[in-house]
Amino acid sequence: MPSCSICLEPFASPVSLPCGHVFCRECVRRTVNSAKSCTLQHLCPACRAPYPIVTMNPALIPPYLRPHILPPLRKVFFNDDPTPTAAPIASSSTSGSPAAASADLARLLAEVHVLREHCATWRRRAEVHAAGNTTLLNLTRAAKDCALRMRAERDTERSQCLLLKRKLAELMCVLTAPSFLLVLPFRPG
């Protein structure tokens, strides 16, 4: 039986990291807990490839994407039986009759056709999504530019308003001042 490269013991509940290396679940847990900094990304002990330790809540993922989201730690099952149970593909396809081979070929061609249609559908959806994101980004940029222009205009108007208030205050002082304080120009004569 294969052994864990951390504890060097036979695997006890083995798990696979996204990079493909396999360790005991407890060894991975100890490795994550022994990290000094509290981060959501950790490094594989074998190849130092980063992997997340947070699993996503399936309720937050759209149903059509759930089959494509894999958890960061996946349980691995080892077959202790040393003899292979599956027959080679080449021997199974040559032993059949030509009619069976043509039926298999037709089935496979139909699958390829369906897969191509699905790919085209997903490609169109991705393009629509990208266009939506681009539109949102452009809208965000335009909103930021507009906010900057409005802020500059507000500051200009505010400074003009303060200037006009000062002039008004000076004029009000001059107009409300008693007449004996008004200084008449001196005319030599």
Question: Does 80 have pLDDT greater than 70?
Answer: no
Task: Please state the rounded mean pLDDT for residues 65-77.
Answer: 80
Asked whether residue 170 falls in the same domain as residue 106, the answer is yes
The torsion angles phi and psi of 24, rounded to 5 degrees, stand at -70, 145
Torsion, Cα of 2, 5, 6, 7 (10° steps): 40
Percentage of the chain lying above the pLDDT 90 cut: 22
Task: Please state the rounded mean pLDDT for residues 28-39.
Answer: 82
For residue 3, tell me if it sits in a domain.
no
Asked whether residue 73 falls in the same domain as residue 114, the answer is no
pLDDT of res. 130: 80
Asked whether residue 50 falls in the same domain as residue 105, the answer is no
Task: Please state the rounded mean pLDDT for residues 108-136.
Answer: 87
The residue whose two tokens read 């994407």 is 65
Of 35-39, 55-59, 81-85, 90-94, minimum mean pLDDT range: 90-94
Asked whether residue 133 falls in the same domain as residue 166, the answer is yes
Average pLDDT, the chain: 82
According to DSSP H, which parts of 5-97 are helical?
Answer: 25-33, 89-94
pLDDT bin (cut points 50, 70, 90) of residue 91 is very low
pLDDT of res. 84: 52
Task: Please state the rounded mean pLDDT for residues 67-80.
Answer: 78
- Total count of residues recorded for the chain: 189
The residue whose two tokens read 């939506």 is 132
Domain that holds residue 164: 101-175
For residue 168, tell me if it sits in a domain.
yes
Asked whether residue 107 falls in the same domain as residue 72, the answer is no
For residue 38, tell me if it sits in a domain.
yes
3-state secondary structure 113-147: HHHHHHHHHHHHHHHHHHHHHHHHHHHHHHHHHHH
Task: Please state the rounded mean pLDDT for residues 116-129.
Answer: 87
- Count of domains forming the chain: 2
pLDDT bin (cut points 50, 70, 90) of residue 43 is confident
Asked whether residue 51 falls in the same domain as residue 107, the answer is no
Of 50, 12, 45, 41, residue with least CA distance to 31: 45
> In 10 A of CB 109, how many CB atoms?
10
Cα four-point dihedral sign 83, 85, 90, 93: positive
pTM > 0.85: yes or no: no
* Alpha-carbon gap, residue 61 to 14, rounded angstroms: 27
For residue 169, tell me if it sits in a domain.
yes
Asked whether residue 75 falls in the same domain as residue 123, the answer is no
